[in-house]
Structure 1
Amino acid sequence: MTSYSDKGEKHEKGKFLSFDHITFWVGNAKQAASFYCNKMGFEPLAYQGLETGSREVVSHVVRQNKIMYVFSSPLNPGNEEMGEHLMKHGDGVKDIAFTVEDCDFLVQKARERGATIVKEPYELEDKHGKVKLAVLQTYGDTTHTFVERMGYKGLFLPGFHSPLFLDPLLSKLPPGKLNFVDHVVGNQPDEEMVPVVEWYLKNLLFHRFWSVDDKQIQTEFSSLRSIVVANYEETVKMPINEPALGKRKSQIQEYVEYYGGPGVQHIAMNTSDIITAIRNLKERGMEFMVVPDTYYQQLREKLQGSKVKISEDLDILQDLKILVDFDDNGYLLQIFTKPVQDRPTVFLEVIQRHNHQGFGAGNFKSLFEAIEADQSARGNLTVLSPSGEAEFV
């Protein structure tokens, strides 16, 4: 596990402030938005569709504190771009948007360094003000939108209206208590992680923040490599993963195969009270990964030799199956949902940090073993031959 202190060069102008919103392309935006509201504690924020004059794409925007997700679906049979994306990838993340200062400058610098600009900077305007946006291509079919809000006072973006319907059930459910997007993880095929990392360093002036390799992260069957890139202010963190060859197919490789290439594997959402959050989310019917009780026996033994004191009750953490990772300075608490669609691709994480800026490396083995149990149930924990080909047993 390696942490990096060199932040690289700072933009002389323009900067990345935070995650703005994350857009999912899904088969049924109305139902996907409803799932996140009912199960994860989001609330409807904004809508764009036939009733607002959008004839090609419908979008439902949901929010929880600073987290905004947009679920978009094609309205017409002839929408080839969205149709092909859905056929290839299933429901998944199409775009990760950043709130930026000086969109024009950031796009110009990225262009000079060789980035592919999908949409040059353009402005949207309504009675609430103006927003400037631009779109860049990143790994696979995934894009990044730069959002310069220019004092915009509307609900979300120009062209969006208030939701058509507010579900009366939502106010009766316990709050999700999720605050902001902590990090967004992208999975790559083997040997494609470093080129993607280099893309962020070169084109967005991000820097290496943290990394682990397959010698540090492995189970009996599989392993991974991961490098986290971050903006200069370290408010945007993007772990980039790839599988490492093991005895059996890793969950990273399973993702790449079912998603049809590189893409967003999971979104981590930060909370300041993970115990209440997970109790409430479980009460709402959210399904999480389960680690065995032996994990907590080993955790108690490790903590005896540590300077760090966990302020939460370990019995409660064990009951809720919340994972703990720690070093000499602090600790983090985290838990992962099961995949949130039928394909074993995108899932979600809830994380609480106590002076610990890592990504749960101490839990990767336990998490992998839990995922491997699910992989086995799906018939996907296949044996790999020396060439890396799957052999069914």
Structure 2
Amino acid sequence: MTSYTDKGVKPENGRFVHFDHIVFWVGNAKQAALYYSVYLGFTPYAYRGLETGSREVVAHVVKQNDVIFEFQSALNPGNEEMGAHLVRHGDGVKDIAFSVENIDFIVDKAKARGAVIVKDIHEEKDENGTVRLATVKTFGDTTHTFVERTNYRGLYLPNYKPSHVETLHLSTLPKVNLKFTDHCVGNQPNDAMESVTQWYEKSLLFHRFWSVDDKQIHTEWSSLRSIVVTNWDETIKMPINEPAPGKRKSQIQEYIDYYGGAGIQHIALNTDNIIESLKALRARGLEFLKTPDSYYTQLRENLKSSKVKIVEDLDVLKKLNILIDYDDSGYLLQIFTKPMQDRPTLFIEIIQRRNHNGFGAGNFKALFEAIETEQELRGNL
């Protein structure tokens, strides 16, 4: 495991602030939004569709604290771009949007360094003001949209209206309280990780933050390599994974096969109380990967010689299948859902950090083994 301290030259202008929102292309946006609301604790927030003058695409937006997910579907039979995307990838993440300052500088830099501009800087406006946006192509069919909201006072984005979905039944479910998007992981085919990493360094002026290779992360059957890239302020983290050759098919390769190429494998959502969040999520019916009891037996043994002291009750963590990764400075707690759709592609991670900026390298083996159990059930190991 390697941590990087060289952030490169600070951009003299332009700033990536944080994750803004995440756009999913799905077969049925209304149902997907409700699924995430019921199981993950989101609240219906904004809407764009026929009633608001959007004739081609419908969008249902859900929100939980600073996390915003937008689910989009085609309204007409002739939408070839969305149709082809769904046939190839199934339901999945199309766009990771970043809130930015000085969009002109950011887009000019990206253009000068060879980034493919999907949609150049443009304005969208309504009675609440103006938002400036631009979209660039990243790995696979995934894009990044830059959002500059300096002169906007509205709910979300121009020409979206407050959601009209009835939320009374949702208010009776236990509160989950996920706070913000911690990181988003992009899976790449073998030997593509380095070139994608370099794209972020070159086009967005991101820098390397953390990495692991297959010597550190492997089971008997499979392994991975991962490099995390981040913006100057280190508020946006994008781990870039690729499979490493193993005796059997790794979960990264399984994702590539079922998604039809590179894409977003999982979204990590941060909470300041993972135990309470997880109790609420389990009560709502969300399914998680199971961790073998031997993991906790080994953990208790290893912690005896560690400087770090775990605040939470280990018996409770074991009961809830929560994983722990730590170093001498602190630790993190994490758990992973089963896939959020029928294809074994996108899943969600719930994470709590206690003075620890890693990504659970110490748990990768346990995670891989848990996923390999599921892969075996699917006949894909």
What residue number does 1:223 align with? 223
The size of the alignment, in residue pairs, is: 381
* RMSD between superposed Cα atoms in Å: 0.5
What residue number does 2:150 align with? 150
C-alpha distance in structure 1 between counterparts of 2:81 and 2:344, whole Å: 23
Displacement of 1:366: 0.3
What residue number does 2:307 align with? 307
Look up the SS of the partner of 2:18 in the other structure.
strand
After superposition, the C-alpha distances for 1:305-355 in whole angstroms (9 at most, x for unaligned) are 100000000000000000000001100000000000000000000000001
Displacement of 1:166: 2.0
Matches within 5 A, 1:164-203: 164-203=164-203
C-alpha distance in structure 1 between counterparts of 2:10 and 2:145, whole Å: 20
What residue number does 1:389 align with? none
C-alpha distance in structure 2 between counterparts of 1:165 and 1:63, whole Å: 13
Look up the SS of the partner of 1:338 in the other structure.
coil
Displacement of 1:281: 0.4
Whichever residue aligns with residue 152 of structure 1, its letter is Y
Displacement of 1:227: 0.1
Displacement of 1:150: 1.3
Look up the SS of the partner of 1:150 in the other structure.
strand
Look up the SS of the partner of 1:255 in the other structure.
helix
What residue number does 1:56 align with? 56
C-alpha distance in structure 1 between counterparts of 2:220 and 2:17, whole Å: 40
Matches within 5 A, 1:76-225: 76-225=76-225
C-alpha distance in structure 1 between counterparts of 2:165 and 2:69, whole Å: 17
C-alpha distance in structure 2 between counterparts of 1:264 and 1:137, whole Å: 13
C-alpha distance in structure 2 between counterparts of 1:232 and 1:53, whole Å: 39
Whichever residue aligns with residue 295 of structure 1, its letter is Y
Whichever residue aligns with residue 298 of structure 1, its letter is Q
Displacement of 1:283: 0.2
C-alpha distance in structure 2 between counterparts of 1:274 and 1:185, whole Å: 20
C-alpha distance in structure 2 between counterparts of 1:285 and 1:151, whole Å: 41
After superposition, the C-alpha distances for 1:34-62 in whole angstroms (9 at most, x for unaligned) are 00100000001100001111010000000
Find out whether 1:376 has 2:365 as its counterpart.
Answer: no
What residue number does 2:354 align with? 354
C-alpha distance in structure 1 between counterparts of 2:9 and 2:64, whole Å: 33
After superposition, the C-alpha distances for 1:64-88 in whole angstroms (9 at most, x for unaligned) are 0000000000000000000000000
Displacement of 1:155: 1.0
What residue number does 1:13 align with? 13
C-alpha distance in structure 2 between counterparts of 1:40 and 1:154, whole Å: 25
C-alpha distance in structure 2 between counterparts of 1:189 and 1:358, whole Å: 23
C-alpha distance in structure 1 between counterparts of 2:372 and 2:83, whole Å: 31
C-alpha distance in structure 2 between counterparts of 1:234 and 1:198, whole Å: 17
Identity among equivalent positions (%) equals 66
Whichever residue aligns with residue 146 of structure 2, its letter is F
What's the TM-score once normalised by structure 1's chain length? 0.97
Displacement of 1:176: 1.1
Look up the SS of the partner of 2:33 in the other structure.
helix
Whichever residue aligns with residue 36 of structure 1, its letter is Y
C-alpha distance in structure 2 between counterparts of 1:372 and 1:329, whole Å: 31
Displacement of 1:165: 1.9
C-alpha distance in structure 1 between counterparts of 2:175 and 2:6, whole Å: 39
C-alpha distance in structure 2 between counterparts of 1:267 and 1:138, whole Å: 17
C-alpha distance in structure 1 between counterparts of 2:10 and 2:17, whole Å: 13
C-alpha distance in structure 2 between counterparts of 1:65 and 1:177, whole Å: 7
4+ residue segments displaced more than 3 Å: none
Look up the SS of the partner of 1:76 in the other structure.
coil
Whichever residue aligns with residue 68 of structure 1, its letter is I
Displacement of 1:168: 1.4
What residue number does 1:289 align with? 289
C-alpha distance in structure 1 between counterparts of 2:80 and 2:165, whole Å: 29
C-alpha distance in structure 1 between counterparts of 2:166 and 2:176, whole Å: 17
C-alpha distance in structure 1 between counterparts of 2:353 and 2:241, whole Å: 21
- Gapped regions of structure 2 (runs ≥ 5): none
